Structures are given as C-alpha cells and as structure tokens.
Amino acid sequence: MILTVTLNAALDITYRVPQLRPHTTHRVTDVAERPGGKGLNVARVLAALGHDTVVTGFAGGVTGTVLREGLAALTGGGTGTGPRRARIIDALVPIAGTTRRTIGVVDGSTGDTTQLNEPGPLVTTPEWTDFLAGYARLLREAAAVALCGSLPPGVPVGTYAQLIREAHAAGVPTLLDTSGEPLRRGIAARPHMVKPNAAELAALTGATDPLRAARDARRRGARAVAASLGGDGMLAVTSQGTWRARPPLRLSGNPTGAGDSAVAGLLSGLVEEVPWPDRLARAVALSAAAVRAPVAGEFDRADYDELLGRVEVTEHPAAV
C-alpha cells in the first residue's frame, strides 16, 4: 500500500455565491463538504488509480468526526467502471483539538475561488508521540510515502525532515509536497521527490527560472524535483535526466486539487516503477483532468485516459 501523511487535515467546504462582493452579505446558494488536506486528496486519486492507500495525520472535534465519516463513505462508493476503486484506510490519530475547516467561496460570475483556511488545532506532545509510533508501524507495510501540506501549530518545523529520515531507515521512498521552512528543512533530509510549484521553488532557491531553481533544489538534497508550472505542465530534474511535460491544450476550470492529482500520478508511477517520462505524463494528465472536472478534486476516468495519450513529454538536452 501507499501511505499519505496529512498533519493538517481539513474539512473542505465549498460555497457558491452569485457574485462575491467584499463587505456585503451573501446568501450561499450551494454548500458542499468533503474530507480535505493534501494527503487525503492524494489518497482519493490513488484509490481511483487502483492503489490501496493508508492516510495518517490527525483528526479531532466535530469537524474531525465529519471528516472521518466522509472518508469512510469514499471507500464504500465507486461506479464499477474502470479499474477497481481501491481502499482508503483511515489511520488518522485522534486529538483533543478540532480539525480545521477550509472554505472555498466560488464566485458564480467569474468562476474564481476565494479561499479561507483556518489555522488548525494545536497538537500536544502525547498526540505527536502517538502519531510517530503509528507512522513507524505503517512504514513497514508502505511501498511509498507522501508527506503533504502545512504543519499544524505545535508540530516542530523540522518534522518532515524527521519523517523522511525514518522512511529512509525503513527503506521506503518519500515524496514531499510542502512549502516554506518545512520544505527547506525537509529537502535537506534527501527525499526521493519534491513537487513544488514555481512560486514555492522560487521562494526556496531565490531563482525565478524553474530549471535553474529545480537544479538548485536538487543540490540542496532532493533526489528528484518535479516542478508544477500551472497550465504549462511540469518540469522534472532527476538523476536520470531532465524532462518537460505539456498538457495537450490550455485548460480552463478549477485548479483546486490539480497539484494533489499530480502527486498521485508521480507516486503511482514510482510504485509501479514506470520511467520518468511516463510518471510525468500521468501527473500532467491527472492535473488536467482535475482542472476540467466540475467538482474540485475529482476527475473523469475517460477524460484522464484521453489526455494521457496526448501529453507531450520532451527530454531536455542540457546536462544536469
């Protein structure tokens, strides 16, 4: 199975309003709720690709309960077409604090989303110890681990570095998808892959050119860098070569979840030991399918299959 870690899981709430006008009152016309946080989103896509996935991290309070119920309901579903929808196994650690909410306000007049993210609950030292014990157990069964998203209050900033070192010791490859100081510290622990976007790479390295920045990130410790370039696809700088992957067309839609879909593509490719160009093609096709899906973070299987055949992957001639 694949393990995903979401230390700051969230109940994702989407509101639709006819038009967002600051400092006025809005009647919300449509409300949707689902389990969220990057690692949970990654797990959903991995399950759709046929990979059993265990999710860990923290959940607590009434929003934590709603999140876990939503997670349990996910595995029960599945339409029966395409590959078997694999299981998502809930290994979240209960905490006394309350799982945060994120609110995405979709403006019906433009389709744009305004995001409001709560800070997340305080994690106590005994809760953190519980998590670490569970993480060590779960690593024994894991084919790969994804470490995703921001850190909640009370969790040390060097946490991802620690979790990467433990995965190394257990022989489990790691993918890190975070930003800021947790990314900087995590990279130094030599994860197998990082998946920053261009802005995160620039913040990390000071270089605005993605190729230059990705090479810098490798020098800092990442064994491979798969940088997402938004609608322009991805750039991978690895020990085996450097590639650019481009979607077949400029896409419009909701970019929420596109990055998490890319992580699922990269991770499934790693576990199935497909070559880098194919991993990138998966990641870009899944991102594109997510952008085109009417519901944030979902994707249409047929759309993905069709896009997959049309992603253009080119090798970069320069030496790394």
Cα–Cα distance measured from residue 141 to residue 144, given in angstroms and rounded to the nearest whole number: 9
Q: Which is nearer to its own copies, 30 or 141 (CB)?
A: 30
For its own copies, the closer CB: 116 or 249: 116
Q: How many chain residues touch its own copies (CB under 8 A)?
A: 28
Per CB under 8 A, does 181 bind its own copies? no
Tally Cβ neighbours within 10 Å of residue 205. Answer: 21
How far apart are CB 5 and its own copies at their closest, in Å?
Answer: 21
**Cβ count within 10 A of residue 319:** 6
Asked if residue 31 binds its own copies (CB under 8 A), the reply is yes
> From the CB of 112, what's the least distance to its own copies, in Å?
4
Binding of residue 73 to its own copies (CB under 8 A): no
202 binds its own copies (CB under 8 A): no
Minimum distance, C-beta of residue 103 to its own copies, in the bound complex (Å): 6
Cβ-contact 227, 201 below 8 angstroms: yes
Which among 22-30, 243-251, 271-279, 295-303 is the span making contact with its own copies, rule CB under 8 A?
Answer: 22-30
Q: Please tell me the distance from the alpha carbon of residue 272 to that of residue 254, in angstroms, as a whole number.
A: 29
Supply the residues annotated as catalytic: 260
Pick the piece of the chain touching its own copies (CB under 8 A) from 12-20, 207-215, 293-301, 305-313.
12-20
Give the x/- contact pattern for its own copies in 80-119, rule: CB under 8 A.
-----------------------x-x-x--x-xxxxxxxx
Q: For the chain, give the number of residues.
A: 320
Q: How remote is the C-alpha of 173 from its chain's centroid?
A: 16
Q: Nearest approach, Cβ of 149 to its own copies (angstroms)?
A: 13
Instruction: With beta carbons less than 8 A apart as the criterion, state whether 10 and 118 touch.
Output: yes
Looking at the Cβ atoms of 116 and 169, the one nearer to its own copies is 116
Q: Closest Cα to residue 4, out of 234, 161, 177? A: 177
- Please give the Cα distance from 42 to 287 (Å, whole number): 11
Among 22, 76, 77, 309, binds its own copies (CB under 8 A): 22
Residue written as tokens 């199975």? 1
Give least dist CB 63 to its own copies, A: 8
User: Strands of 144-148's sheet, edge to edge?
Assistant: 88-95, 53-60, 2-6, 144-148, 174-177, 193-194, 225-228, 234-238, 241-246, 312-315
- Pair 157, 185: CB distance under 8 Å: yes
- Of the residues 1, 65, 168, 232, which one makes contact with its own copies according to CB under 8 A: 65
- Residues forming the site for its own copies (CB under 8 A): 15, 17, 20-29, 31, 62, 65-66, 103, 105, 107, 110, 112-119
